[in-house]
Amino acid sequence: MTQPFYVSPEQIMKDRADFARKGIGRGRSVVVVQYVDGIVFVAENPSQALHKIGEIYDRIAFAAVGRYNEFENLRIAGVRLADLRGYSYDRRDVTGRALANAYAQTLGTIFSAAGEKPYEVELFVGEVADDPAHDEIYRLTYDGSAADVSGFGVMGGQIEQVDAYLKEHYTSGLALNDAIKLAVTALGRDAEPARQIAPESLEIGILSRARTQPRKFKRLTGAEIAEALT
């Protein structure tokens, strides 16, 4: 009788991580930047129908890279979880931290499960507060790891070049248009020479504490994006 082929748990986890990273790295980056009145999410996305950025709840938004069907399932699950908690308890009980924890548990369980492939996704979850010091941004990776983001963050694609540009040029207290210009310029630094990204190829969403409505998320139109970049 032949002996079963043995693969160490460490090698299995490494192979799964490599698989997920390769899938995520094939797409374009997404950048999140804190500005004076909130948080802005910027993605290179020419599609007008398949969004990488979306609203989760009143003060919470979501951005993702990787396989669309996988992160869209996570977005929908997040919306349902937030709606259920807000309805069952109080709208103030729906927090970005709780949502990030739920995503971390889901991604970690899927990554560790032997019977299915890991999700090829990374996520940002942002929550805007009444003052900049209490804004929260979380980055979730394919294996369920979670980290706080302060000031700016980038995921997906060629993140080294984009992150280096942001580290060199980011300053706190940016106006919205300046934050958008910084993010778009950084996204174009993923190639050599640097690329100019057309406004129609951008998807931008903001969480603005300056909005008087309870819902703080707004998706910018093509005209608003073009105006912000002038």
CATH code of the domain in which 180 resides: 3.60.20.10
Q: Is residue 7 part of a domain?
A: no
Q: Is residue 20 part of a domain?
A: no
Q: Is residue 135 part of a domain?
A: yes
**Could you give the CA distance from residue 9 to residue 18 in angstroms, rounded to a whole number?**
14
Q: What's residue 105's pLDDT?
A: 97
pTM of the predicted structure, to 2 decimals: 0.93
Two tokens, residue 26: 């094939």
Q: Is residue 142 part of a domain?
A: yes
Cα–Cα distances in angstroms (integers) from residue 65 to residues 58, 86, 133, 200, in the given order: 22, 27, 27, 19
pLDDT score of 2 more than 80 = no
Q: Is residue 5 part of a domain?
A: no
Instruction: Please state the rounded mean pLDDT for residues 43-55.
Output: 94
How many domains does the chain fold into?
1
Q: How confident is the model at residue 186 (pLDDT cuts 50, 70, 90)?
A: very high
Domain holding 195, by residue range, is: 26-228
